[in-house]
Amino acid sequence: MAYEKFELELPLKCGVTLPAFLTYKTLGDPKNPAVMIPTCYTGRIAGTMNAFIGDDDAVSPKKYFVIVVGLLGGSESSSPSNQPAPFDGANFPKTIYEDNIHAQFKLMKHLGVEKLFCYMGYSMGGQQAYHFATLYPDHVEKIIPLASSAQTSGFNWNFLEGVKSTLKASSDFLANAYTEPVIVGTTAFGRVYSNWALSYEWFKTKAWEAAGYKSSEEYLLSDWEKRLNTWDARDLLQMAVTWQEGDIAIYHDNDYAKALGAIKAEALVMPSRTDQYFRWEESVEEVKYLKKGTLAIIETVWGHIAGGGVGTTEDNVFINKTISEFFAK
């Protein structure tokens, strides 16, 4: 699938000006209401397009101008693995959500879009939705954070420290001096991460069987170990740091309630009941402070990843239906 590239000089929060590029894909007629959807942690554009985007889905290219954009550090837009010198590899500068949002806003303007109908995202994508609505409040009508939060909790932060450690401690990471794929590290990373991304209920009910696998081991080997082996270790670490620093409160005197209350966009907040690190209880708190917030909990055993469209058919029907109704308001 062919993607497009938007090049820009991007002043980063860390003080570096990066000759950056955003890789993106558009679907539909630019005259239609625009929906922006960014990638998430270990998510790429192709996979993002498979979730709730389609002629019969809530985000139909027949109705909307869909912009799917790669996250900085996410292997498709500017990342440690693909950035030319002098910012290649271990020399890639720190990037945060604010940097992503400023770049995406420039892309939006480049595409002729003055205001988004919706900014929708899963996991890190949902955190970007909150940040977009905070940094550009007059340029988005609706946001949909799926299995996400406006502020990375201390518990979430520490979970990420754990999975980062599996990469840094691996024998082939070589103190960040590696020149070959970090297979030992990414294999361990995938196995450790999987338990957090799923749920106790997922294992108890043998949910892998409904997904077509004979055992949990077969599923974990295919969907976690082998999939994570396709990722560069520095890209994984880059995105994790962005995630850890997610917090819209920093733009409102570190006042979490004030930050949420300042969001003008209508918000559909959709947590997963069994998400272990973007807890549904956090979403309940967020909706209390949002001026125009609606809560819709995904009742699922598929943990965090249900929000990305890889849960059950029933999960996806519920998400699609709820988004469609929200769009129609």
Q: How far is CA 207 from CA 47, 122, 200, 215, in A?
A: 21, 21, 11, 9
Closest alpha carbon to 75 in 289, 230, 208: 230
- The whole-number pLDDT of residue 51 equals 84
What would the two tokens of residue 298 be? 């995904």
pLDDT of 230 over the 80 cut:
yes
User: Coil, strand or helix: which one is 108?
Assistant: helix
How far apart are the C-alpha atoms of 17 and 217, rounded to whole Å? 45
Residue-wise pLDDT for 161-186, tens only, equals 999 999 999 999 999 999 999 999 99
Residue-wise pLDDT for 182-221, tens only, equals 999 999 999 999 999 999 999 999 999 998 999 999 999 9
Cβ distance 16 to 72 under 8 Å? Answer: no
What would the two tokens of residue 321 be? 């239906």
- Distance from the Cα of residue 92 to its chain's centroid: 20
Task: Please count the other Cβ atoms lying within 10 Å of the Cβ belonging to residue 225.
Answer: 18
pLDDT of 1 over the 80 cut:
no
The alpha carbon dihedral of 165, 167, 172, 177 has a sign of negative
Count CA atoms within 13 Å of residue 265 on its CB side: 29
Closest alpha carbon to 159 in 275, 12, 273: 275
Quickly state the pLDDT bin for 312 (edges 50, 70, 90): very high
What would the two tokens of residue 238 be? 């880059």
The alpha carbon dihedral of 39, 44, 47, 49 has a sign of positive
pLDDT of 9 over the 90 cut:
yes
Name the CA dihedral angle for 129, 133, 139, 145, rounded to a multiple of 10 degrees. 30
- The whole-number pLDDT of residue 329 equals 86
Quickly state the pLDDT bin for 50 (edges 50, 70, 90): confident
User: Coil, strand or helix: which one is 175?
Assistant: helix
pLDDT of 138 over the 90 cut:
yes
